[in-house]
Amino acid sequence: MFKFVFNSYCLFLLLYGFFFLSCVGFNDMSLMAPVIVQATAKHTASLIFLHGLGDTGHGWSAGFEEIRAPHVKYICPNAPVNPVTLNGGFRMPSWFDIKSLSPSGSEDDVGIKTAAEGIKKIIDEEIKSGIPSDRIVLGGFSQGGALALYTALTMEKPLAGILALSSWLPLHKTFPEALKGNKDTSILQCHGTADPVVAFSFGELTNQALHKLCSKHEFKAYSGLSHNSSPQEMKDVRHWISKVLP
């Protein structure tokens, strides 16, 4: 049943990706700048949020506009267009290749690590602009949340917080050896109990792993929530952001 639902979702992403890319073009997509919601007061903190497979930063930027804090700049990068094995090799916005659904299955080791280095460069740019790393939150949804978790835990610079929505910890077998920093950084992990794409059981396994690795990890489950967000989840996200980026 789980496999059938996920394959249906993959078909949706394939059709969506074809429509989107036919509009913007492969080359245009690769050159798309991050979608940014600027601070409306003095800019003293930043939140970098990574979208899910087949998506862009536009949808999440709109979501953060609704809950934004005036001193925070929200940066929603766009993933490059890459072939996705699980979607029959179809090219779509993807931070790295997804080869399997099984926690013990093959993962795109090189792609995940390369993507993480790219996100670290975005963080470094914010630091160069005058925002200390401990005033930066890194987060994401689904595949983007997975990349956010891996990037944050394998970088040495301290962050203000880590936000993971409907996601998982990639290359989990490499931990705790791969852990370089942010083990005492606040982490908010949220997951819907009815998620047919990234199964709730994956969220629970990630919850268990993060509890062993990190000291300030919080896991919130949302009854009946599918592979998306909800007003209650975004309300909880806003409250958490207000605590880690006061």
- Is residue 195 flagged as an active site residue? yes
Rounded-to-integer distance, Cα 217 and Cα 212, Å: 9
HSE-CB of 245 using CA atoms within 13 angstroms: 33
Which of the following is catalytic: 51, 186, 227, 229?
227
- Is residue 142 flagged as an active site residue? yes
Which of the following is catalytic: 142, 167, 186, 229?
142
Which of the following is catalytic: 51, 108, 195, 217?
195
Cis peptide before 231 (omega within 30 of 0): no
| 208-245 CB burial, b ≥16 within 10 A, e <16 | ebbeebbeebebbebeebbbebeeebbebbeebbeebb
Q: Find all residues with CB under 8 Å of 147, minimum gap 6, and list them.
A: 50, 95, 96, 112, 115, 116, 119, 140, 170
- Is residue 51 flagged as an active site residue? no
The C-alpha torsion from 197 through 199 and 204 to 208, rounded to 10°, is -70
- Return the active site residues: 142, 195, 227
